[in-house]
A and B are shown apart, each in its own frame.
Chain A
């Protein structure tokens, strides 16, 4: 009786979890975005209209994008940049964000695209890392080896980690998809991506 109760309860949790997590993420994002214009909508209509704020934000961003892609728009936004950089205090955050976005844009490549295995923190210990860039500037100038910038993430929450500059020849490239690598990290090594990719019946779980 007790084991039946335990078994059914665990099965229930396993069944509800994917749905609960998915709904929670979608609802949280939706509410955040919807919330930006909510105070304005309430002021305007006198009552909250769900999803209108979301729609509004979406259209506004789209509109800015349409304006920003043509010639007149580009000039307009360049003027705005110059103006913003003159506002004290504000200019610090504006300038930094702008620089970071430009850095991503100039590279024209999405970071975290490549997954590598490296011996970190010492020989014979292996860690997964994501290639973010090729080291440039001072860091590359004062080192003889060709360095690659990699991001080594924490487990199970991969939103923080460590940046490392690794000589290119010390990296072991992995063919696994970054999404799969993230799953591997979040699951603490339990989710093992298929290898070789697209082959069937290779990902049988390890029976430790």
Chain B
């Protein structure tokens, strides 16, 4: 009897473990699809009288693409800068429009993308280490007030890495590690359970074996 019970427990757990990656992936995929598909759903229902799943998604995709095609040539660029000027004159909307625009510009102008390098910093105190992502070099007022050269880093929270803390760290206090960004994220999400292989060490091993 206990044998059957443990067998049932084991197989059930195995089943959950096997289905979970697929279930999570499908769930995220469906949610994104529904959200994007839903943007044009009311219009499609109004014109056709019935819903066509997927049409809204295709329409949104094509529209964004078309905007991009227009926006990449000279006439389009002029058109959109005129549109920008127009939007900034509308009260209320202009606040959100300008802010979003500024944030996008800030990302566009930097050559190096954020979240490309994983580092270790002594946070929250000397002797304790935390994983952080390099964001940007600091300029402006914050740099002007401090003698050290500061780098802004992002320290994600666990298990939800979409929130965290922004800290300015002196460049010499940063310990670069060769870990990949997605591995570092997995480490943070799993609470330290998933430990990525030491890339540097394994590369050396490969080199040794080749030698």
Contacts and interface: CB of A to CB of B under 8 A. Distances in A.
Contacts of A188: 114, 135-136, 152, 154, 166
19 contacts: A12-B63, A12-B67, A14-B71, A21-B97, A122-B126, A124-B170, A125-B173, A154-B165, A156-B162, A157-B163, A183-B103, A186-B103, A188-B154, A190-B136, A192-B136, A194-B140, A195-B139, A206-B139, A207-B110
A172 B106 contact: no
A127 B168 contact: yes
Contacts of B121: 125
B167 interface: yes
A139 interface: no
Contacts of A208: 110-112, 136-137
Interface stretch (B22-30, B142-150, B184-192, B202-210): B142-150
Name, among A160, A204, A205, the residue most crowded by chain B CB atoms within 10 Å (CB to CB). Answer: A205
A172 to B, nearest CB: 6
Nearest to B168: A126
Interface in A122-140: 122, 124-128
Interface residues of B, number: 62
B89 to A, nearest CB: 13
Interface in B79-102: 80, 87, 92-93, 96-102
Contacts of A187: 103, 106-107
A2 B170 CA distance: 40
Contact of A8 (B68, B99, B110, B136): B68
Interface string B20-44: 0000000000000000000000000
B102 A122 contact: no
Given A7-B68, A22-B87, A193-B141, 14 more contacts: A8-B69, A19-B87, A117-B168, A122-B125, A152-B165, A156-B162, A160-B163, A189-B168, A190-B114, A190-B135, A206-B136, A206-B138, A207-B110, A208-B110
Interface residues of A, number: 56
Given A155-B165, A190-B103, A13 B170 contact: no
Contacts of B102: 183, 191
A125 B71 CA distance: 41
Nearest to A23: B93
A21 B97 CA distance: 7
A191 B103 contact: yes
Interface of B: 63-69, 71-72, 80, 87, 92-93, 96-104, 106-112, 114, 121-126, 135-142, 144-146, 148, 150, 152, 154, 157, 162-170, 173
A10 interface: yes
A176 interface: yes
A155 B163 contact: yes
B118 to A, nearest CB: 15
